[in-house]
Amino acid sequence: MRFLLDQEQKEFGHTLDRMLTAAGTPGAVRAWGRGEHEPGRAVWGRLGDAGVFALAVPGAYEGAGPLPVELAVAYVEAGRHGVPGPLVETAAAAVLLATLAERGDAAAAAKEWLPRIAAGQAMVTLTAPAGGPYALDADAADAVFAVEGDRLRAALGHGPVQPSLDPARRLARPLGGGETLANGPAVAAAAARAADWAAFATAAQALGTGLALLERTVAYAKQRTQFGRPIGSFQAVKHQLADVLVALEFARPLLYGAALALADGTDRAGAEVAAAKVAAGEAAYAAARTALQLHGAIGYTDEYDLSLWIRKARALRAAWGSPSVCRARVLAP
């Protein structure tokens, strides 16, 4: 099995890195946390123009997918740059609608929403049992989809918005009522598939978040001096950074292995996604702890950009499958 990206996939990642570097995402995240969505939507539009959201949408609906390897490349970069908005939920909703449409359900909703999602023209969010009761960024979304047992509905709106630990994640409960888009056992099955994709995309974001934290901490360790020497020259600091690097590099092949399992539709795809999710989430969380320890008090101040990634790492660790839930799934027969 080949876990290395090909040249085209690598170049795709480099292109997104350059684009998001120029986009100034820290400012967009801070605005997003205040409920000001325009800067974040501008970044979203750039990702749509680059074809990121089309990767989760089948070609029958003007998409390019599903292409989980390329989606992982894109979401790693989104995590590295801290892009705000319901990126994971939009991809999961696309998978959910496409899966139901394949089985003859929610065809009208798929025809309405999937081309808009693929083009980056629609930002949607999703609640499902595997993701908890909150609709991420419902106040910014063009549609809120809710899975309740064997029923999928388009919610009428959302309740009061609650701030999250991560300013790029705003939480609200979907309101009751709304149009029923599909009903029956197919909804639960499609929701389970969408939840696997959500956990997978969250793992990719977590890996990117951990890489950003490591990069920033290494740069800081080279600049900060103590006893007349850069702290990065101290053996204890080197060991901490090396441990984080090993954890992130261990998570990377698990992520792309899960991508191949999703692409092949194997029976163990869910377990492979869970393994990638727990490895990437724990590695990012370790990177956040190390970054905070080596930066000191400056690391968690709101004015310092590093704090945005520290808080994101903790939020992503639990999103779409806590470490304990993921481990149990990996170990299940």
Report the share of the chain in percent with pLDDT over 90.
91
Residue 176 pLDDT greater than 70, yes or no: yes
Residue 1 pLDDT greater than 60, yes or no: no
Q: Judge whether 168 lies within some domain.
A: no
Q: Judge whether 71 lies within some domain.
A: no
Q: Judge whether 204 lies within some domain.
A: yes
Per-residue pLDDT tens digits for 250-259 = 999 999 999 9
Q: Judge whether 182 lies within some domain.
A: no
Q: Judge whether 126 lies within some domain.
A: no
Per-residue pLDDT tens digits for 206-239 = 999 999 999 999 999 999 988 889 999 999 999 9
- Looking at residue 300, its pLDDT comes to 77
- Predicted structure pTM score: 0.96
Task: Band the pLDDT of 2: cuts 50, 70, 90.
Answer: low
Q: Judge whether 150 lies within some domain.
A: no
Region 288-298: mean pLDDT is 92
- Looking at residue 111, its pLDDT comes to 97
**Residue 62, phi-psi category: left (phi > 0), alpha (psi -120 to 50), beta (remainder):** left
* Cβ(155)–Cβ(178) below 8 Å: yes
Per-residue pLDDT tens digits for 303-315 = 899 999 999 999 9
> Measured between alpha carbons, how far is residue 187 from residues 53, 191, 192, 243 in Å?
22, 6, 9, 42
Task: Band the pLDDT of 3: cuts 50, 70, 90.
Answer: low
Q: 269 Cβ partners below 8 Å, 6+ apart?
A: 196, 258, 261, 262
- Looking at residue 4, its pLDDT comes to 82
Region 88-93: mean pLDDT is 98
Q: Judge whether 237 lies within some domain.
A: yes
Per-residue pLDDT tens digits for 49-75 = 999 999 999 999 999 989 999 999 999
Residue 127 pLDDT greater than 90, yes or no: yes
The domain of 312 spans: 191-331
* Cβ(153)–Cβ(146) below 8 Å: yes
Task: Band the pLDDT of 120: cuts 50, 70, 90.
Answer: very high
User: How does the average pLDDT of the chain come out, rounded?
Assistant: 95
CATH code of residue 231: 1.20.140.10
Domains in the chain, number: 1
In 3D, which of 66, 65, 51 has the Cα closest to residue 119?
A: 51
Q: Judge whether 118 lies within some domain.
A: no
> Measured between alpha carbons, how far is residue 5 from residues 31, 57, 170, 209 in Å?
34, 21, 33, 19
Task: Band the pLDDT of 174: cuts 50, 70, 90.
Answer: very high
